[in-house]
Amino acid sequence: MKKDEEITTLYNLILNPNTRDWEREQLIKAKEELATSGSLKEVLDRLEVSFRPLALRQNLTPDVMDFYLRMVGDPLGEAQYDFAQHEITDATVQERAVFAGGCFWCMVEPFETQEGIISVLSGYTGGDVTQPNYDQVSGGYTGHVEAVEIIFDTRKISYQDLVEIYWQVTDPTDEFGQFQDRGVQYRPIIFVQNEEQRKIAEASRQALSESGRYAKPIVTSILPAQPFWPAENYHQQFYRKQPKRYKKIKQTRHQLAVMQKLTKVWRKPKN
């Protein structure tokens, strides 16, 4: 990349409100060096070294992490989600559905791989702050939960079908998180778009409660849809961009779900 283009990238990250203060200090230093007489390669090499410890722990803010991946030549840094594709183009046959069920990294693939799904977007909803960022939500400071917003074709898949998938990939008895994801930002909630969705979700929840599949009460909330804020590019379609890491997270989630079911069977009183 040319020096002028790199300076523009650094400038945008410096102005990005989601960039942490320490990250911004490193970016400003690099930008100033490039603006004078610094070698592009040498400046970026020093910046990479300063970011590396946090990058290896996946602890850079999302946009800076994307930039870091591009610096080290990782193709993940070039993977850009097309946010413009996530829209309803025909309201007569398309609807939205919003589900919160733990980390949104694990909530995309179960829905996106179904026939009739047009788009799945990771994001934040249910809180009090406009345009929240990942640091704010993951810290539990805004009241938001991590969630997915789904646009689907009602001719190919129904809202009832989506709710049933939701029950299969979440623990509806845990109101303090989901599996290994703990905190208010991971609580299970179905956000309904209209009265029809509310009736379907409530009837499905009641049927699940009466099914005897769980010894504990069903605590998943059903709430009216609230503003949905897209998560940063780094978090979109995580299962596609980082399949190995996603597989490990998914396996852990599955193992905890199996253990929990065994515990529930063991605790269930005998007739």
In 3D space, the residue among 119, 124, 93, 96 whose CA is nearest the CA of residue 108 turns out to be: 119
Give the CA angle between residues 127, 133, 138 to the nearest 5°.
Answer: 70
For the chain, the C-alpha Rg in angstroms (whole number) is 21
Paired sense of beta strands 221-224 and 189-192, if any: parallel
Q: Which two tokens stand for residue 258?
A: 């199996």
Residue 106 annotated to the active site: no
Which one is catalytic: 64, 103, 163, 190? 103
Q: How far is CA 247 from the centre of its chain?
A: 16
For residue 130, the tally of other CB atoms under 10 A from its CB is 8
What is the tally of helices (H) and strands (E) in the chain?
Answer: 10, 8
Separation between Cα atoms, residue 32 and residue 46, nearest integer Å: 13
Separation between Cα atoms, residue 145 and residue 202, nearest integer Å: 20
The set of catalytic residues is 103
